[in-house]
Chains A and B, each alone.
Chain A
Amino acid sequence: MAAGPAPSGGRARAQRLHLSKMERVVLSMQDPDQGVRMRSQRLLITVVPHAVTGGDVVEWLIQKFCISQEEALHLGTLLVQHGYIYPLRDPGILVLRQDETPYRFQTPYFWTSTLWPAAELDYAIYLAKKNMRKQGSLLDHEKERYDQLHKRINHAWDLVLMQAREQLRAAKQRRKGDRLVIACQEQTFWLVNRPPPGSPNVLEQGPELSCCAASPVQMTKSSDFYKQEIECCRKALGRARVKSSVCLEAYLQFSVQHRLHDPMLSGCLPGNPWITDSAAYWAVNSPTAAAPTKLRVERWAFSFQELLEDPVGRAHFMDFLRKEFSAENLSFWEACEELRYGGQAQVPALVDAVYQQFLAPGAAHWVNIDSRTMERTLEGLRQPHRYVLDDAQLHIYMLMKKDSYPRFLKSDLYKGLLAEAGIPLETKRRVFPFPRKPWHASPSPALLPPSGEPMVAGGPDGGDSVA
């Protein structure tokens, strides 16, 4: 995959998508029919045309996008902070006030995207003009930057001063109203592109990331890349697809099934720990809880995966399998998982251990795999790697899922668990600030002995109990 130099291509350009969208919004705001109401604004002795009030801007946004007042104010503020709308009074502060405060739309010449990136030379000229117009008018941070620029582009300083003088001279020949407006526009531009210290820098894009790919203009991708894409497409064309109606129906079912288990939709008992400041919910649902809640036990019936993922569920399933004399299936599956996700160095030893325990003729926990899979597996064991037991593992997994799991759900064991399982009482919100066990003092998993024993959380808090 070839890479070409792309200083302002690729990622940087993508990150400026929002600017062009803001520009579209601002343009439609200026539409003579559908836009914001324009009026002339009197400032001291000049009259500035095409001004809008902050209140009207917010109102327009509310109407146009059907959003709340809070959101409209937020969006409007972003437009101001990016320099697309500027205040006519107090031009030094880019804030949107939702009242009669007058604003104006920035001229496209000074849009951030037009002059991207803002040039050092231009900034120097701007500061020089400000300095010349009125001695001592540069703010502290501006003085600092002015001096820094002077040092950095000293060779071009005559040009800077000359340009500054020229621009000031040209400005004097304009009407007072125009001069005021242009000064505001320019000031806004520099507030956005060179924000004063302490002010948010809305144009900050993150670290200088050298993009690995060339911009779309330069076609330097290798033929390997396209060959791979073609291969991927060909395979994709051959794959079996499922009708949308079937897939989407599955979301509905999943959503309905899990609704009661989603704390954000149905709350959770005894109470959301983040609201009640009590760790009771976590204690009751801990990985080693002796008495799982009703919801938890119900969840084991949703899918085999949910059962296996819950340590308590898995333990009960193991008990059930023992009664059926097929516990070795689950043990085998667990051993295969350990192999798949284990350290590279342990692979040979683990494969051997699994073979000895589960696959060798006369093994202590011999698993019943069909002959073809067993043959393939034994063949693969000659050169053990972490995926060598995948076929066997899948076979056993499907066996458990299609056979043992449904029986488990119908078993007395499971029905008993369901009947015994309780619903925790809701924690009453503490009214008085009794000293409470701070739940963040729970032992960090990092403190546990390396035996891997799962964290044992403290018992339920206060007087809460499971019904």
Chain B
Amino acid sequence: MATDGLHENETLASLKSEAESLKGKLEEERAKLHDVELHQVAERVEALGQFVMKTRRTLKGHGNKVLCMDWCKDKRRIVSSSQVRRICCVTGEREHAVTMPCTWVMACAYAPSGCAIACGGLDNKCSVYPLTFDKNENMAAKKKSVAMHTNYLSACSFTNSDMQILTASGDGTCALWDVESGQLLQSFHGHGADVLCLDLAPSETGNTFVSGGCDKKAMVWDMRSGQCVQAFETHESDINSVRYYPSGDAFASGSDDATCRLYDLRADREVAIYSKESIIFGASSVDFSLSGRLLFAGYNDYTINVWDVLKGARVSILFGHENRVSTLRVSPDGTAFCSGSWDHTLRVREIWA
């Protein structure tokens, strides 16, 4: 009926405006306790010196755009995925290579034990492959389809064990799965658009994780209840990457608006923006050094910018890739970082002051 339609529209509109006004109030509340800026506090800290950095390994095995990579806990192995295949490589030698049935394998992750990897992409699934060195065994045969989404898989991560996987998808949801049975343990709804990235909190007691999406929101979730615990909406475009600060009290995000931002969870607000007028292209991936003092960010203009997290200034810009940097991770013990790019290569670099 026509009147029903009208009523529904009014309700929708009033709900929307209520949401907007609450958000406004929330920003006001957050601002009340904001008594100092990060760079002011950071004045007491020594400035960082000049950095020397060198590429120590260039991995060319893919022959295709590299989309995602992850380190093994043994600190030296890497799994990486590409537009056509997924390869697990040792730094130097390629140990395994598996051909995926789908193109654009946008997510991959190493299991904590180092005995399996997970990946997925346009096939809307996340599959787990146990790693085997038996040449007679076909790795693809042992594959287990764990997660099923209704749109592409953008990110995946094992939790503290090989038995659970957290996924993020273009269908706007995140989900927690039991690897063995493929059972959905928990789903997380709340993003208004594709979810592009996630990161698990290094917290000692809780189980929370943060996700970022095309709705410009970064949301912190409680894994147990499936509820959104905190949400931040200050970016001006898609959030491509989120990563927790090593203490777990904050996280950084990289976005298509060419900025990286730091959000504090206890203060419940954005506390720093890392941007420069000359940086025009979006940031695709971010990660911290071990002490959290440095923030590495890979950009779509083929560069990697290194930021002083406390002082807010850029300390270094790294060239070398010949196409956009799509993925970047610091090694688990902080000795190096690896960047993957659409120029078909992965580069492992060490950097120190």
Contact = CB atoms under 8 A, between A and B. Distances in A.
- Which of A266, A281, A344, A448 counts the most B-chain CB atoms under 10 A from its CB? A344
Interface string A247-269: 11111101110110111111110
A390 to B, nearest CB: 7
B280 A237 contact: no
Contact of B36 (A14, A211, A245, A446): A245
A243 B293 contact: no
Contacts of B207: 340
Given A226-B19, A232-B231, A251-B309, A71 B317 contact: yes
A382 interface: no
B36 A440 contact: no
B171 A212 contact: yes
A65 B256 contact: no
Interface in B270-321: 271, 276-278, 280-282, 289-294, 300-303, 309-310, 317, 319
A219 B151 contact: no
B15 A223 contact: yes
Interface string B169-212: 01110000011110101000110111000000010110100000
Contacts of B93: 440
B204 A304 contact: yes
Interface stretch (A18-26, A100-108, A129-137): A18-26
Contacts of A397: 204-205
Contacts of A265: 48, 289, 291, 293-294, 352-353
A21 B258 contact: yes
A68 B35 CA distance: 35
A212 B194 contact: yes
A448 B115 CA distance: 9
B194 A264 contact: no
B38 interface: yes
Interface in B54-87: 54, 56-57, 72-77
Contacts of A227: 15
Contacts of A67: 278
A255 B30 contact: no
B333 A285 contact: yes
Interface stretch (A156-164, A172-180, A188-196, A202-210): A202-210
Contact-size category for A: 35 or more
Nearest to A394: B205
Contact of B22 (A234, A264, A282): A234
A213 interface: yes
Contacts of A204: 342
A232 B227 CA distance: 9
B193 A445 contact: no
Given A223-B11, A248-B36, A445-B113, A18 B280 contact: yes
B32 to A, nearest CB: 8
A305 B237 CA distance: 35
Contacts of A308: 204
B90 interface: yes
A261 B290 contact: yes
B292 A251 contact: yes
Interface stretch (A272-280, A365-373, A407-415): A272-280
B257 A17 contact: yes
- Which of B18, B192, B256 counts the most A-chain CB atoms under 10 A from its CB? B192
B85 to A, nearest CB: 15
Contacts of B47: none
Contacts of B205: 394, 397
Nearest to A277: B56
Interface of A: 1, 10-11, 14-15, 17-18, 21-22, 25, 61, 64-65, 67-68, 70-71, 74-75, 78, 200, 204, 206-207, 209-213, 219, 221-223, 225-230, 232-234, 236-237, 239, 241-252, 254-256, 258-259, 261-268, 272-275, 279, 281-282, 285, 303-305, 308, 337, 340-345, 387, 390, 394, 397, 438-440, 442, 444-448, 452, 455
30 contacts: A1-B172, A17-B236, A18-B256, A18-B300, A65-B277, A200-B322, A212-B172, A219-B12, A223-B11, A226-B12, A226-B16, A233-B19, A237-B22, A237-B26, A243-B35, A244-B271, A245-B36, A247-B264, A250-B249, A265-B289, A265-B294, A273-B76, A275-B56, A279-B76, A337-B160, A341-B159, A344-B183, A345-B178, A390-B224, A446-B116
The 7 closest A-B pairs by CB, nearest first: A445-B114, A213-B193, A258-B291, A262-B291, A65-B278, A446-B131, A233-B22
Given A11-B214, A255-B293, A343-B180, 8 more contacts: A1-B189, A200-B322, A211-B170, A221-B192, A241-B33, A244-B267, A342-B163, A448-B115
